[in-house]
């Protein structure tokens, strides 16, 4: 049985960092499936320096040559005015924003000992605050229409850590926290917020020492299937999908069963019960932070 094709006819999508790699793949496929696309890319170097509109213009030409409709935007996502201008360009041209894919990113990898605070802050600004600024600008339009799909781009580095990427990892896990709250705040207005954790061959990963044979198989287009599903009308909300080379897996933050040690528990008690406290055999995900309080309250009533 073949599933009904996912389409975006009549919808308007914004894809940040869409001049190359993952963003380009997402933008091109969205357009192929009927969306009108704002192709945003500052056109800077991998570390975020410089800028040129050429890469975004080239993707627009590619979309138009295939019969699609797109416009280029060269705003910096980590500039508040630029983020507002990005969303305004979609509203001015087509009057709506249905899909937002926050994909723009840079790298400034160094160990925590060596990384400067300026470089740490710059990476946070692009990945985390850049996603905040663009989503904040699009959010009122989605609320007004009673529909929206927002995709954050997280990473296995944020979910699990990666040597030399403290700034990048902090930003990427921060996006999961942002997603988890926005999924709750957008629910009443059919705004669904998800995250994709890509494993792809891009300029951001070519220096990570990945085996060349594997690198060849990690084409960005193979992540786009997950990205577009998470932006579709029937998408879940609050989901994280790890995707690469045709592999897809959901990722969840889970909590163990826990142990109630009483109000007079000491550090020594925690140490003595560490095996039970760290037991994850009955781990389960929570849908919101309040469920943690509910679990504690339940435990207290049993004392």
CA 284 to chain centre: 23
φ, ψ dihedrals at 37, nearest 5°? -120, 135
pLDDT digits (tens, 9 = 90+) for 122-146: 999 999 999 999 999 999 999 999 9
Q: What share of the chain is helix, strand, coil (3-state, %, to 5)?
A: 45, 15, 40
Least confident of 4-8, 29-33, 162-166, 199-203: 199-203
Query: Residue range 190-210: average pLDDT?
Result: 74
Residue 53: pLDDT band with limits 50, 70, 90: confident
pLDDT of residue 214: 63
Tokens representing 112 are 């925590």
- The closest alpha carbon to 135, from 179, 91, 72, 71, belongs to 179
DSSP string, 262-289: -TT--HHHHHHTHHHHT--TT-EE-SST
Least confident of 145-159, 189-203, 287-301: 287-301
Instruction: Give the start-end residues of each E strand in 126-171.
Output: 148-153
Residue 127 CA: distances (Å) to CA of 37, 56, 154, 187: 21, 19, 9, 24
> What is the C-alpha separation between 70 and 16, in angstroms, rounded?
13
pLDDT of residue 50: 47
Query: Residue range 223-228: average pLDDT?
Result: 96
> What is the C-alpha separation between 214 and 200, in angstroms, rounded?
10
Query: Residue range 212-228: average pLDDT?
Result: 81
Residue at token pair 């308007």: 12
CA 121 to chain centre: 18
State the chain's mean pLDDT as an integer: 91
Higher pLDDT, 210 or 248: 248
> What is the C-alpha separation between 204 and 206, in angstroms, rounded?
6
The terminus-to-terminus CA distance of the chain in angstroms comes to: 53
Query: Residue range 31-52: average pLDDT?
Result: 78
Higher pLDDT, 1 or 170: 170
pLDDT of residue 1: 43
- CATH number given to 12-251: 3.40.50.720
Neighbours of 137 (CB within 10 A): 24
pLDDT of residue 220: 87
For the chain, give the percent of residues with pLDDT over 90. 80
Residues with catalytic function: 168
pLDDT digits (tens, 9 = 90+) for 4-23: 899 999 999 999 999 999 99
pLDDT at 103 over 80: yes
CB 258 within 8 A of CB 284: no
- The closest alpha carbon to 39, from 30, 31, 27, 29, belongs to 27
Q: Classify the C-alpha dihedral 36-102-221-201 as positive or negative.
A: positive
What does the chain come to in residues? 303
Least confident of 34-48, 70-84, 206-220, 252-266: 206-220
pLDDT of residue 2: 56
Residue 196 CA: distances (Å) to CA of 5, 63, 93, 97, 262: 20, 23, 28, 20, 40
pLDDT of residue 303: 58
pLDDT at 46 over 90: no
pLDDT at 281 over 70: yes
DSSP string, 127-160: IIIHHHHHHHHHHHHHHHHT-EEEEEE--HHHHH
> What is the C-alpha separation between 170 and 221, in angstroms, rounded?
26
Query: Residue range 182-197: average pLDDT?
Result: 98
pLDDT digits (tens, 9 = 90+) for 226-275: 999 999 999 999 999 999 888 899 999 999 999 999 989 999 999 999 99
Structural domain boundaries of the chain? 12-251, 254-301
> The pTM is what?
0.91
Tokens representing 98 are 């249905």
3-state secondary structure of 4: coil
pLDDT of residue 298: 74
């Amino acid at each position: 049985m073949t599933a009904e094709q996912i389409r975006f006819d009549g919808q308007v999508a914004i894809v940040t960092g869409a001049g190359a790699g993952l963003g380009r793949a997402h933008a091109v496929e969205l357009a192929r499936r009927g969306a009108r696309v704002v192709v945003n890319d500052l056109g800077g170097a991998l570390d975020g320096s410089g800028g040129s509109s050429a890469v975004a213009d080239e993707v627009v030409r590619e979309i138009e040559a295939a019969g699609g409709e797109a416009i280029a935007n060269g705003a910096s996502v980590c500039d508040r005015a630029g983020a507002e201008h990005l969303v305004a360009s979609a509203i001015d041209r087509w009057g709506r924003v249905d899909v937002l894919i926050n994909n723009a990113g840079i790298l400034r990898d160094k160990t925590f000992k060596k990384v400067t605070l300026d470089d740490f802050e710059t990476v946070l600004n692009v990945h985390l605050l850049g996603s905040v600024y663009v989503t904040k600008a699009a959010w009122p339009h989605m609320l007004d229409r009673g529909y929206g799909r927002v995709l954050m781009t997280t990473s296995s580095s944020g979910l699990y850590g990666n040597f030399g990427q403290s700034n990048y990892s902090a930003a990427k896990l921060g996006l999961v926290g942002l997603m988890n709250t926005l999924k709750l705040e957008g629910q009443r207005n059919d705004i669904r917020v998800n995250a994709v954790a890509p494993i792809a061959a891009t300029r951001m990963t070519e220096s990570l020492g990945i085996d060349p044979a594997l690198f060849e198989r990690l084409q960005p287009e193979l992540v786009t299937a997950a990205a577009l599903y998470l932006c579709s009308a029937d998408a879940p909300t609050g989901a994280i999908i790890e995707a690469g080379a045709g592999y897809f897996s959901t990722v969840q933050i889970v909590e163990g069963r826990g142990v109630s040690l009483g109000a007079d528990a000491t550090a020594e008690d925690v140490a003595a019960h560490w095996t039970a406290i760290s037991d994850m055999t009955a781990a389960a995900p929570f849908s919101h932070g309040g469920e943690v309080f509910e679990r504690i309250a339940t435990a207290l009533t049993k004392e």
